[in-house]
Amino acid sequence: MSQNINSVAIKLFHQFGEDFTLDQLSKQANTSRATLYRRIGSKHNLLKKLAADGFISLDYQASAKAKILAATRIVVAKHGFINCTMEQIANQAGLGTATLYRHYAEKHKLLQAFTTALKSDVSMAEFKLAGNLSVEDGLYLLIKTMLKFIDDNVDIVKILFFGNPEERKYISNIRDASSSTFKSISQHIHNLKAQKLIQVEIKTEDLVASLMGQLMHFALTAPLNLGRKLNIDRDAKLITKIFCSALEITKRG
C-alpha cells in the first residue's frame, strides 16, 4: 500500500507541485484519509521522504520562492505595500494561498524578504570593490549600479521614496535600516574621508542626500518632466563628474 501511495504522490507532485491535496492523494490511491495519516503523517513528511529517496527534487522550493518574490513585485507596484494581500500575491504567482503561507507565514515576513531581495541588487560586493578603486571610478561604479536599479524598479522606487506617509512608515518598519543603500553609501563616503582620499567641509549626510537627489532626478524626474531619456552609462559619468566637482580628491598612494 505504501508503494501505491508513493507512486500516486509522485504523479500528483509532477502535475501540481506541492499544491496537490491529501484529498486528491486519498482518492487516487484509493486509501482513506485516516490510513494516509497513519502511514505518512503529513504531506510535508511524505515529500521530504520522496526527495530523500531520490524520487522527486525539492529544488522547486527555490523556484516557488522566486515566483513568489516576482509576483510580490507586480502586486506591490499595483497596490502598494499596505494594501497588497497574500491572496493577490498567491494568485499572481499561480500558487495556492496555503502554499504561500507555508513559505511565508505572515505578510510582513514576505515583504521583508522582498525588500531584502531588492537591496541585494546593490550588493555589498560592489561597495567593497568600489573601496579598492580610485575615488572617481568607485563612485562611478556605485552610481551606475544604482541608476540601473532605479531604472529596473521604477514603480517600487516611487513607492519607497515618494509614497504617502503611511506607506513610507510601513516600509520603514519592515526594512532593515542598518543595511539600507543610503547607509552603505554614507559608510563608503565616510571611509573615503577617513582615508583622507576626499577633503570636503560638507557633512556626509548632506553629500549623500545630494547624490540621491541627482540619482532620482536623472532616473525619474528628468525623463518624466523634461523628456530626457535615461542613459545609464552617460548619466552615471555625468553625475560622478558633478558630484566629484564638490570634492578635493587625493589619489591613492
Domain CATH code at residue 37: 1.10.10.60
The answer to whether residues 160 and 204 belong to one domain is: yes
Query: What pTM does this model have?
Result: 0.69
- Please report, rounded to a whole number, the percentage of residues in the chain having pLDDT higher than 90: 47
Query: What pLDDT score does 59 carry?
Result: 62
64-81 per-position pLDDT tens digit: 888 899 999 999 999 999
| Residue given cell 508503494 in the structure block | 3
Rounded to an integer, what distance in angstroms lies between the CA atom of residue 145 and that of residue 228?
Answer: 20
The answer to whether residues 162 and 228 belong to one domain is: yes
Which range of residues forms the domain containing residue 67? 60-118
The answer to whether residues 46 and 146 belong to one domain is: no
172-227 per-position pLDDT tens digit: 887 766 567 888 899 999 999 999 999 999 999 999 999 999 999 999 999 999 99
Query: What pLDDT score does 40 carry?
Result: 84
Dihedral through CA 47, CA 43, CA 16, CA 98, nearest 10? -120
CA angle centred on 192, ends 190 and 194, rounded to 5°: 70
The answer to whether residues 150 and 77 belong to one domain is: no
The answer to whether residues 166 and 237 belong to one domain is: yes
- Answer for the pair 32, 26: CB distance below 8 angstroms, yes or no: yes
* Residue 222: partners with Cβ closer than 8 Å, 6 or more residues away: 228, 230
The answer to whether residues 217 and 160 belong to one domain is: yes
Rounded to an integer, what distance in angstroms lies between the CA atom of residue 97 and that of residue 113?
Answer: 17
The answer to whether residues 41 and 72 belong to one domain is: no
Least confident residue range of 32-46, 88-102, 213-227: 32-46
The answer to whether residues 133 and 80 belong to one domain is: no
Indicate the number of domains in the chain: 3
- Answer for the pair 236, 146: CB distance below 8 angstroms, yes or no: no
The answer to whether residues 239 and 195 belong to one domain is: yes
